[in-house]
Amino acid sequence: MSLALETRDLTKTFDVGKRLLRPPKAQVHAVHPTSLRVENGETLGIVGESGCGKSTLARMLVGLLPPSSGTIEIEGLSGGSSPADFGRVIQYVFQDPVSSLNPRKTIRQILEAPLIHLHGMGRSERAARIDEIFDSVSLRGEFLNRYPHEFSGGQAQRIGIARALAANARILVLDEPVSALDVSVQAQVLNLLADLKDELGLTYLFISHDLAVVEAVSDRVAVLYFGAVVEEGRAENIFASPRHPYTRLLAESAPVVGRPIGGQAQGELPDPMNPPPGCAFASRCPRATDICRTDRPELRPIEGDQRAACHHPLDP
């Protein structure tokens, strides 16, 4: 298999309390050095709790946010490329389907934008392509002349997916694409994504806070905590036999019928402006020892292709 996307030590630091002439008051490390590899045709799931840096990472991958350091390699693209250059190879599907569509444009105008600006298509060519895409996301052609507010969440998300497909990119970053949808509609959209992937040979980065959804759609999963990947492995193993204590906490916290309420670890995320020196999970971790509070653990292979950033990884 060939590589679709690779990041090397990608980081993002935000300045908070910007001032006109003096340096900012503080810095927030939203994404710590992160190295990810995604193969062509693969689905990489990215899970983590709110504020752990999922969206920031995703926005860097599609060129909406310049990284503070590190590199992104996507089919030969690298630093300095414009969102338009990125747009032809990687696209983004947003969490909130309704606010990702301009309320004052018709669906046709929205879908035409990437065809015009990324591919310079003529009028008749565009019409044919839009019909084809609309068909592939199972929407009726008559919707094309309507405005976004006339659609339900599930339909709007199909339109968002159609726009990403219109750019003809081979890699899609799906940022919580079904979180705003009801469960019965969620399944419709997930199945649509699976079909499109098979038909068009797409590569997905699937971001979600819902472990069960991620497990159901991904080949591999990366678990993010406090801006860093703490564990990475095959979807069928990572929650079934987690090696990082945080992954285990996540898996035990997920409500599953027939299992008692689990995951009782107390405590909260560390302060991002004042990150602890060692492992970010140490204050909540039952296995923490002295070294955990002083040395930051590196992501390292534990078994097979399962990797974890922990000084005392769990036994399988």
Partner 1 sequence: MSTFLKLLARNRLAVFGAAVLGAIILLVVITPLLPLPDPNATATADRFKRPFSDGFILGTDHLGRDLFSRLLWGTQLSLAVGLAAALIAGTIGAAIGIVAGYFGGRIDNVIMRAIDMLMAFPYILLALAIVAALGPGLLNALYAVAAVNIPFFARNVRGVTVSIAHKEFVDAARLSGMGHLRIITTEILPNVLPVVVIAMSTTIGWMILETAGLSFLGLGSQPPQADLGSMLGEARAAMITAPHTSIVPGVMILLIVMSVNLLGDGVRDALDPRLRSGALSRPMAATLVRRDETPPEKTDTKAVLSLENLETRFEVGARIYRAVGGVSLAIQPGECVGLIGESGSGKSVTALSVMGLVASPPGVVTGGAVRLNGQDLIGAPYARLRALRGDRVAYIFQDPLSTLHPLYRVGDQLTEAIRVHHRISRDAAHERAVKLLEDVHIPNARARARSYPHELSGGMRQRVAIAMALANEPEVIIADEPTTALDVTVQAQILKLLDNLRRDRGVSILFITHDFGVVGQLCDRVAVMYAGRIVEEGTTAEVLDAPAHPYTKRLIACVPELGAGRRELHAIPGLPPAVDQLPHGCAFAPRCHKATGLCATSDIPLDGRKRKVRCILPEEDVA
Ligand X SMILES: Nc1ncnc2c1ncn2[C@@H]1O[C@H](COP(=O)(O)OP(=O)(O)O)[C@@H](O)[C@H]1O
> Where do contacts with ligand SF4 occur on this chain (CB under 6 A)?
244-245, 279, 281-282, 285, 287-288, 292, 297, 310-312
Separation CA 101–CA 121 (nearest Å)? 21
CB 6 within 8 A of CB 172: no
DSSP 69-112: EEEEEETTB-TT--HHHHHHHEEEE-S-TTTTS-TTS-HHHHHH
Q: Residue 103 interacts with partner 1 (CB under 8 A)?
A: yes
Name the binder of 124 from ligand X, Mg ion, ligand SF4, none, CB < 5-8 A by kind.
none
Separation CA 89–CA 171 (nearest Å)? 6
**Which residue lies nearer to Mg ion by CB, 59 or 248?**
59
**Which residue lies nearer to ligand SF4 by CB, 12 or 311?**
311
Q: How far is CA 274 from CA 160, 165, 280, in A?
A: 38, 41, 11
User: Which residue type occupies 224?
Assistant: L
Q: Residue 259 interacts with partner 1 (CB under 8 A)?
A: yes
Total residues contacting partner 1 (rule CB under 8 A)? 78
Stated as kind and residue range, the H or E segment containing 234 is: strand 228-234
Computed over its alpha carbons, how large is the radius of gyration of the chain?
21
The token duo for 142 is 């008559």
The CB density around residue 236, as the number of other CB atoms within 10 Å, is 13
Query: Contact region for partner 1 (CB under 8 A) — 26-34, 67-75, 181-189, 197-205?
Result: 181-189
DSSP 246: H
Name the binder of 311 from ligand SF4, Mg ion, partner 1, none, CB < 5-8 A by kind.
ligand SF4
**Which residue lies nearer to partner 1 by CB, 18 or 293?**
18
**Which residue lies nearer to ligand SF4 by CB, 194 or 288?**
288
State the residue for tokens 């900012």: 24
Given the rule CB under 6 A, which residues bind ligand X? Answer: 14, 16, 28, 30, 48, 50-56, 272
**Which residue lies nearer to partner 1 by CB, 73 or 96?**
96
Query: Scanning residues 8 to 67, which ones bind Mg ion (CB under 5 A)?
Result: 55
Query: Scanning residues 199 to 238, which ones bind partner 1 (CB under 8 A)?
Result: 209, 211-213, 215-219, 235-236
Least distance in angstroms from the C-beta of 223 to ligand SF4: 11
Query: Scanning residues 147 to 166, which ones bind partner 1 (CB under 8 A)?
Result: 152, 154, 160, 163
Separation CA 245–CA 70 (nearest Å)? 28
Torsion of CA 306, 310, 315, 316, to 10 degrees: -30
Name the binder of 30 from partner 1, Mg ion, ligand X, none, CB < 5-8 A by kind.
ligand X
**Which residue lies nearer to ligand SF4 by CB, 126 or 287?**
287
Judged by the rule CB under 5 A, the positions of this chain that interact with Mg ion are: 55
